[in-house]
Amino acid sequence: MRATTAILSLFTTASMALAANSTVPDGNSTTTAWVKKQEAISWTDLKTNVNPEGAAKGFIAASLSTSEPDYYYAWTRDSALVARVMVNKYNTTDAGDANLLGLLQDYVSFQINAMGESTVCNCLGEPKFNPDGSSYTGAWGRPQNDGPAERASTFILLADSMIAQKSANGSYVSDTLAPAIYKDLAYVASTWENACYDLWEEVNGKHMYTLSVMRRALLDGADFASRQGQTANVTSWKSTADKIKSSLEGFFSSDNGYIEVTQDMQGGVQKKGLDVSTLIAANIGSMGDGFYTPGSDEVLATAVAVEAAFADLYKINQNTNSTGLGTAIGRYPEDTYNGVGNSQGNPWFIATNTFAELYYRAILEWQNKGTITVNSVNAAFFSKFDSSAKAGTTYKSGSTEFDSLINKVALAADAFLNTVQTYAASNGSMSEQYNRDTGALTGARDLTWSHASLITAANAKLGTPYN
């Protein structure tokens, strides 16, 4: 317990502050019971995909599926987000677990090796690596510049955890983690204005998601470097983060009423602009400062628009309200990737879990703030839960109206997880997608990121959102 307390005191991001001061309403007790059970299953399934037999140490497979589709690679992005869940476990429920720490150090070794590999793009934005640690050299959408940013933030979280738990020898953080962190941050600072491929690997341009995780990495890095006494680049990284924020502000379209996914598109899938990745960015890329956070006006408006786009698109979304299920959510409405080839896109477990987590995090944010004010941007969201809500309506913490509102939002979040429960396998297995008409599992089996997204949503529901 002392180790965990020390770790929590070290981290200053909003998720930890919210967890300390706020709670999520109990919501649906049946959902809560399932979530606790599934979280444990997902944690086991996630670890199964780390260090699979025959692969280089530290290899985190996106899935163990090797054909139709072949996902037996370590994507920089997926690996960083999965490892981030692992670090959060090491910070909390699994504090001091030597086996888990060993897996994390294996991950670090694999990634540092990848950073030195010869790659097609000749840059740190190479998207994926083979099980033996070599770079993938086939045709692909590259570079993908979110990867180094996500890796830097995960390495920083691990470094802070190891310092707090005194689980590193004197030089591991300074000699192993820090140089890799600074290398990634230098890359982020030098490439943030460049076009690259998005997290779905389909569009070349400038992306809201990529810029969000870049901004977070630079701010995480500036804080870390300051605490390490390495201040040479701190001012520059903060300045660049401010520039990224200014750029991100332009992604919200007041005409459309949502955050658009991409600007300056140079090739790839044509989209209207709605994409669940803007909400994933709010969950993992925001800094708790009110800017594109889960409870912010622009993100709430975007959530309404994204959900509405899928409500009538998938057959399995018919009559969801009468069955207690939330809307099944896909990546973007124009999606044609079906998990193996191209025909019609399906709902994704990642996307549906994202909505649940977003709502839980928003509740914690509102509780921490102490008040909710409805305005012209967010009115469409709040009117879903209170028909009398309109611009100017205010809900104050402690009032009956405030409690009623957040209880309804919590139940809506639970409904998304009810959808996940309905279409996951009876043993808790979750593939990448589930069929838009039948709900059958489809695509890569036991996608590691699917399980990671369930774990982060579960912890947000329980009032302890991950960093």
Residue recorded with tokens 């086939």: 138
- Cα first-last separation, the chain: 18
Which of the following is catalytic: 160, 198, 220, 446? 198
The closest of 263, 157, 146 to 212, measured between CA atoms, is 146
Catalytic (active site) residue 260: no
What interhelical angle do 146-165 and 178-191 show, nearest 10?
Answer: 150
Identify the sign of the CA torsion 24, 27, 33, 34.
negative
CB atoms within 10 A of CB 254: 10
Environment class of 225 (CB within 10 Å of its CB; exposed 0-12, middle 13-18, buried 19+)? buried
Residues 6+ apart with CB under 8 A from 169: none
Alpha carbons 138 and 117: distance in angstroms, whole number: 15
Catalytic (active site) residue 175: no
Give, in degrees to the nearest 5, the angle at Cα 426 between 421 and 430. 60
Alpha carbons 151 and 149: distance in angstroms, whole number: 5
Alpha carbons 270 and 201: distance in angstroms, whole number: 13
**Which residues are tagged catalytic?**
198, 201
